[in-house]
């Protein structure tokens, strides 16, 4: 099986290049994921660099651009991919080395969304109650693994990564706006009510299309906008 | 070369649940705290925990912390320390309510309380009816907890060293631990992080086995650091094999699947657990269920073409329950097997899951070693919590839902003790240059060029040796051969080389240093297993099939120096209640 992989080592390379790799057919097993193949390729060349950890799509380490689409290598079946498999780092993020990108801006925008529950009422000695219906509102929002596939697929984020929060951070914002236990809804909406932070989303929907967890940041952003609208009338 | 040096009151190595719970307590307690993690915090392996966290909230069925304690002691096959178990079970409701206040999106019951499900080894009234004690956020509880804890730490402005790899502890001649030497994976630059206290919360060492449910990053780094600092590891022979890993692959299918009503079948379609555990059936303790599956397969009743696994049947639960309560495992099953559990049963086989053993601590999280007076003298400045530690609440077999509880209770307890320690110890002790130099030499060792074996094939061989020689069923002969092989592997690892010598984000170097850590943990496991001539909990000896309380109701202590074994008594005396004396264990 043939691979074409983006290589760049800032210590030795003046410019990035694509390198061909071949994985012997004897090593390709049924049910294999792209990450399994990458680990074998790393045995051929231990300088091939990528992040990975849990191997089943919950830690969010191994996001990359796979045949032109962002995804997680560990849950991407090899058999679904057209060879040669072309692997690149996330678009729109600075490359540190090979498939590893600098995600600091992504994390910064996540922090900007203030993704923590705010409830300054006196704490009961037991749990705060939440109806199953209210809890259902968090489904599709809280499961985000911060892999970055969505924001790295968003043209608005590519163009304004410093000012537009991006789909991942806005999904987090929605998760706390929706949470019936959170008391900072008003402040959250206030902070988002900005031409860039929220409103740079142009509904391109790449985020929803690539999310490896099947989440829908575009809808979450639409919901925030609707809440915003209701608040202004 | 000038070395970057940073100073903090408290240092935490590892950003999983134990590390982040401790960090939050310390930050809120106004200590200057730093967390070092080789991965971005939310990528720590706590994120993969599925089923839930145990606490006797009695939201669904009657419950009490005392019943929880009984179940945990029994589950541990009486090897757990009963003072620590009492402490944990009493603290459980409080730490779960705290989590809820931190924002964890627990699933909810009709009245709005936290949802609780049945898990293995849980009972009401000290061994009677099944209990429902496991608090869950669907089957993504670990994810929900880890993200919430990270978020609260952001709010509390905890200082994070993300993607820094801790090499070794700094320890002075008087035995005080003064921090760690780490390196920044991004730049490759080493850094000295001095701290008045150091908490090891680096998780387990599941990667010592070929088939496991663990992340690739679970390489026992903290355990190995402790060993190299002269701290023995406790009860390392007790490795939990989770009954329901995806056959041949290892991905975890939560016990919650059986808690919701799923059951195991063999090739006859028989619910075989009825024979092994007439009362608890599929919700017997994990060691019992894992052995039962292994026996079914060994005796020719396995399923599939190679008759090498059992089937976990969830079909009768219906699409609604599966989609609402078990969406994550449905996703895993469909991704890795193309099997939708709504329509087909899932092929499963016991898979290495959890290290019951680890760095010995007391219930304040202080690392304790045999030094002068007792087997439990604290190492000044050193703490451990979570899977890296052995406090010991799990003894010879951990109950499902008790690991998330362990990390929260003892991460918090360690932080509280650290706050006291900081009150009494206001100043940093002088840095100990020798141990800094040693750690730097370990780092520089991988700059060696020339001929030598590569890291990955050695890692694969190590994992295979452990699977073949220290698996579910063990004998002296087979383990002895495993020890011999590991000794040879250790020498080969000493001579291994990596080809990549660049500074920037050198993952080859990280993996090489992880391999050294795996080696030490594997040796600790097999040497401890060879030493223990009885069967107890997860440790099953074909040549010593019975539990032997007369000789073996004691903890193993493995030291790196000469691979020596030592032992210490089990703390059978709880804090306030009466001791649960050892009994025959039936489910």
CA B216 to chain centre: 14
Judge whether B70 and B248 are in contact, CB under 8 Å.
no
* ipTM (interface predicted TM): 0.98
Structure tokens at B430: 């002088």
Q: Which of B286, B363, B541, B585 is catalytic?
A: B286
Which DSSP letter does residue B41 get? G
Number of domains in chain A: 2
pLDDT of res. B248: 87
Pick out chain A residues at pLDDT < 70. none
pLDDT of res. A231: 86
> Using a CB-CB distance cutoff of 8 angstroms, which residues of chain A are in contact with residue B103?
116-117, 176, 179, 181-182
> Using a CB-CB distance cutoff of 8 angstroms, which residues of chain B are in contact with residue A126?
57, 97
Domain ranges of chain B: 4-238+356-435, 242-352, 448-534
Distances B30 to B20, B103, B345, B416 between C-alpha atoms, Å? 15, 22, 51, 12
What CATH number does the domain containing A36 carry?
Answer: 3.10.20.30
Judge whether B8 and B197 are in contact, CB under 8 Å.
no
Residues 26-85 of B with CB under 8 A from A: 39-40, 42-45, 47-48, 57
Degrees, nearest 5: CA angle B301-B304-B308: 60
Residues 487-506 of B with CB under 8 A from A: 498-500, 502-506
CB contact under 8 A, A9 and B502: yes
> Using a CB-CB distance cutoff of 8 angstroms, which residues of chain A are in contact with residue B108?
130-132, 134-135
Mean pLDDT of B143-171: 98
Q: Does B188 touch chain A (CB under 8 A)?
A: no
Can you tell me the distance from the alpha carbon of B399 to that of B432, in angstroms, rounded to the nearest whole number? 41
Residues A156 and A207 in one domain: yes
E-strand spans in B23-79? Answer: 33-37, 53-54
B428-440: pLDDT as tens digits: 999 999 999 999 9
Can you tell me the distance from the alpha carbon of B133 to that of B115, in angstroms, rounded to the nearest whole number? 9
A160-183: pLDDT as tens digits: 999 999 999 999 999 999 999 999
B465-496: pLDDT as tens digits: 999 999 999 999 999 999 999 999 999 999 99
CB contact under 8 A, A53 and B45: yes
Last residue of some domain: A85, A101, A117? A101
> Using a CB-CB distance cutoff of 8 angstroms, which residues of chain A are in contact with residue B328?
58
Probe site for chain B from A78, A89, A116 (most B CB atoms < 10 A): A116
Can you tell me the distance from the alpha carbon of B21 to that of B35, in angstroms, rounded to the nearest whole number? 11
Mean pLDDT of B514-520: 98
**% of chain B at pLDDT higher than 90:** 98
CB contact under 8 A, A59 and B45: yes
Angle between helix axes B402-424 and B17-28 (nearest 10 degrees) is 40
- The answer to whether the Cα torsion of B179, B233, B514, B229 is positive or negative is positive
pLDDT of res. B477: 97
Q: Does the pLDDT value for residue B373 go beyond 90?
A: no
> Using a CB-CB distance cutoff of 8 angstroms, which residues of chain B are in contact with residue A45?
499
Residues 6 or more apart whose Cβ sits within 8 Å of residue B338:
none
> Using a CB-CB distance cutoff of 8 angstroms, which residues of chain B are in contact with residue A97?
504-505
- B586-B214-B401-A75 Cα dihedral, nearest 10 degrees: -120
Domain extent for A22: 2-101
CB contact under 8 A, A43 and B105: no
Mean pLDDT of B294-305: 95
- A233/chain B closest Cα distance in angstroms: 30
3-state class (DSSP) for residue B171: strand
Is B286 among the residues known to form the active site? yes
Burial of B29 (0-12, 13-18, 19+ CB in 10 A): middle
Would you say how long chain A is, in residues? 233
Q: Does B215 touch chain A (CB under 8 A)?
A: yes
- Write down the CATH number for the domain with range B242-352: 3.90.700.10
Structure tokens at A88: 């690149």
> Using a CB-CB distance cutoff of 8 angstroms, which residues of chain A are in contact with residue B335?
56-57, 75, 77
**% of chain A at pLDDT higher than 70:** 100
Q: Which H helix or E strand runs over A88?
A: strand A85-88
Residues 6 or more apart whose Cβ sits within 8 Å of residue B156:
B24, B27, B28
Q: Which CATH number fits domain B448-534: 3.40.50.300, 1.20.58.100, 3.30.70.270, 1.10.150.120?
A: 1.20.58.100
Structure tokens at B549: 């309380």
CB contact under 8 A, A96 and B186: yes
Judge whether B519 and B486 are in contact, CB under 8 Å.
yes
Degrees, nearest 5: CA angle B273-B275-B280: 55
Nearest to A97 among B47, B144, B505 (CB): B505
CB contact under 8 A, A61 and B143: no
CB contact under 8 A, A49 and B106: no
Which DSSP letter does residue B236 get? T
Can you tell me the distance from the alpha carbon of B23 to that of B110, in angstroms, rounded to the nearest whole number? 34
CB contact under 8 A, B215 and A55: yes
Q: Does the pLDDT value for residue B1 go beyond 70?
A: no
> Using a CB-CB distance cutoff of 8 angstroms, which residues of chain B are in contact with residue A43?
454, 456-457
Structure tokens at B517: 């850590």
> How many C-beta atoms lie closer than 10 Å to residue B562's C-beta?
6
Nearest to A138 among B105, B111, B502 (CB): B105
The model's confidence at residue B2, banded by pLDDT at 50, 70 and 90, is confident
Residues A53 and A120 in one domain: no
Q: Does the pLDDT value for residue B548 go beyond 90?
A: yes
Probe site for chain B from A48, A55, A57, A58 (most B CB atoms < 10 A): A58
Nearest-by-CA chain B residue for A114: B155
What CATH number does the domain containing A186 carry?
Answer: 1.10.1060.10
Helix ranges (DSSP H) in B367-498? 402-424, 433-444, 455-469, 476-494
> Using a CB-CB distance cutoff of 8 angstroms, which residues of chain B are in contact with residue A54?
43, 45, 47-48, 215-216
pTM, two decimal places: 0.97
Nearest-by-CA chain B residue for A181: B103
Can you tell me the distance from the alpha carbon of B250 to that of A27, in angstroms, rounded to the nearest whole number? 19
- The answer to whether the Cα torsion of B537, B540, B546, B551 is positive or negative is negative
Superfamily (CATH H level) for B4-238+356-435: FAD/NAD(P)-binding domain (3.50.50.60)
- A201/chain B closest Cα distance in angstroms: 24
Can you tell me the distance from the alpha carbon of A149 to that of A153, in angstroms, rounded to the nearest whole number? 6
Residues A73 and A152 in one domain: no
Can you tell me the distance from the alpha carbon of B76 to that of B91, in angstroms, rounded to the nearest whole number? 19
Structure tokens at B149: 């804890």
Nearest-by-CA chain A residue for B503: A11
CB contact under 8 A, A53 and B216: yes
> How many C-beta atoms lie closer than 10 Å to residue B578's C-beta?
8
Q: Does B103 touch chain A (CB under 8 A)?
A: yes
Q: Does B102 touch chain A (CB under 8 A)?
A: yes
E-strand spans in B316-430? Answer: 346-355, 359-360, 366-369, 377-384, 389-390
């Amino acid at each position: 099986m043939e691979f074409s992989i983006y290589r760049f080592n800032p210590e030795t390379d003046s410019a990035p290049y694509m390198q061909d790799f071949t994985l012997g057919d004897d090593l390709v097993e049924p049910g294999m994921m792209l990450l399994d193949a990458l680990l074998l390729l790393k045995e051929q060349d231990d300088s091939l660099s990528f992040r990975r950890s849990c191997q089943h799509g919950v830690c969010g380490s191994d996001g990359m651009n796979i045949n032109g689409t962002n995804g997680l290598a560990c849950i991407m079946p090899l058999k679904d991919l057209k060879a040669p498999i072309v692997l690149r780092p996330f678009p729109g993020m600075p490359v540190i080395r090979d498939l590893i990108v600098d995600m600091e801006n992504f994390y910064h925008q996540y922090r900007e969304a203030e993704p923590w529950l705010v409830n300054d009422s006196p704490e009961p000695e037991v749990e705060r109650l939440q109806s199953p219906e209210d809890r259902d509102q968090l489904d599709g929002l809280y499961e985000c693994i911060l892999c970055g596939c969505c924001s790295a697929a968003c043209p608005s984020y590519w163009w304004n990564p410093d000012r537009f929060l991006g789909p991942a951070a806005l999904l987090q914002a929605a998760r706390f706006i929706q949470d019936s236990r959170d008391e900072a809804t008003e402040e959250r909406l206030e902070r988002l009510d900005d031409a860039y932070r929220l409103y740079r989303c142009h509904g391109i929907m790449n985020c929803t299309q690539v999310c490896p967890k099947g989440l829908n940041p575009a809808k979450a952003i639409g919901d925030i906008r609707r809440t915003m609208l209701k608040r202004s009338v | 070369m000038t070395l970057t040096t940073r100073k903090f009151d408290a240092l935490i190595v590892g950003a999983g649940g134990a590390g982040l719970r401790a960090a939050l307590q310390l930050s809120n307690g106004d200590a200057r705290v730093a967390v070092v993690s080789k991965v971005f915090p939310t990528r720590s392996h706590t994120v993969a925990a599925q089923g839930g966290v145990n606490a006797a909230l009695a939201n669904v069925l009657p419950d009490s912390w005392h019943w929880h304690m009984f179940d945990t002691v029994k589950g541990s096959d009486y090897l757990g320390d009963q003072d620590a178990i009492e402490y944990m079970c009493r603290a459980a409701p409080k730490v779960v309510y705290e989590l809820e206040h931190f924002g964890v999106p627990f699933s909810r019951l009709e009245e709005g309380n936290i949802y609780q499900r049945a898990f293995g080894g849980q009972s009401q009234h000290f061994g009677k009816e099944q209990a429902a004690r496991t608090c869950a956020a669907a089957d993504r509880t670990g994810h929900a907890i880890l993200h919430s804890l990270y978020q609260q730490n952001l709010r509390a402005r905890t200082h994070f060293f993300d993607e820094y790899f801790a090499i070794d502890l700094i320890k002075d001649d008087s035995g005080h631990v003064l921090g760690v030497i780490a390196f920044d994976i991004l730049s490759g630059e080493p850094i000295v992080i001095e701290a008045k206290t150091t908490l090891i919360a680096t998780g387990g060492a599941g990667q010592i086995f070929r088939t496991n449910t663990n992340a690739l990053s679970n390489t026992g780094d903290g355990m190995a650091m402790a060993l190299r600092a002269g701290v023995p590891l406790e009860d390392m022979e007790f490795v939990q094999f989770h009954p329901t890993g995806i056959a041949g692959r290892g991905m975890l299918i939560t016990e919650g699947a059986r808690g919701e009503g799923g059951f195991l079948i063999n090739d006859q379609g028989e619910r075989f657990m009825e024979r092994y555990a007439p009362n608890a059936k599929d919700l017997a303790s994990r060691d019992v269920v894992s052995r039962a599956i292994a026996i079914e397969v060994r005796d020719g009743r396995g399923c599939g073409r190679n008759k090498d696994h059992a089937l976990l049947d969830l079909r009768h639960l219906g699409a609604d329950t599966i989609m609402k309560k078990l969406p994550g495992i449905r996703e895993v099953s469909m991704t890795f097997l193309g099997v939708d559990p709504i329509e087909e049963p899932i092929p499963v086989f016991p898979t290495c899951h959890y290290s019951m053993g680890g760095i010995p601590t007391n219930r304040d999280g202080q690392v304790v070693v045999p030094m002068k007076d007792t087997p439990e003298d604290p190492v000044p400045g050193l703490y451990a919590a979570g899977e890296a530690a052995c406090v010991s609440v799990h003894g010879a077999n951990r109950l499902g839902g008790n690991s998330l509880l362990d990390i929260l209770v003892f991460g918090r307890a360690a932080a509280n003790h650290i706050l006291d320690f900081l009150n009494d110890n206001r100043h940093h002790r002088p840095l100990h240059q020798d141990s800094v130099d040693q750690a730097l030499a370990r780092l520089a060792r991988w700059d060696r060029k020339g001929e030598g074996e590569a890291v990955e094939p050695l890692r694969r061989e190590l994992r295979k040796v452990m699977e073949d020689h220290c698996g579910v069923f063990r004998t002296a002969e087979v383990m002895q051969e495993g020890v011999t092989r590991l000794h040879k592997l250790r020498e080969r690892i000493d001579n291994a080389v990596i080809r990549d010598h660049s500074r920037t984000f050198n993952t080859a170097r990280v993996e090489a240093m992880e391999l050294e850590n795996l080696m030490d943990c594997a040796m600790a496991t097999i040497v401890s297993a060879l030493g223990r001539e009885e069967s107890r909990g997860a440790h099953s000896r074909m040549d010593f099939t019975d539990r032997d309380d007369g000789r073996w109701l004691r903890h193993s202590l493995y030291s790196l120096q000469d691979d020596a074994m030592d032992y210490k008594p089990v703390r059978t005396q709880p804090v306030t209640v009466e001791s649960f004396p050892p009994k025959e264990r039936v489910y």
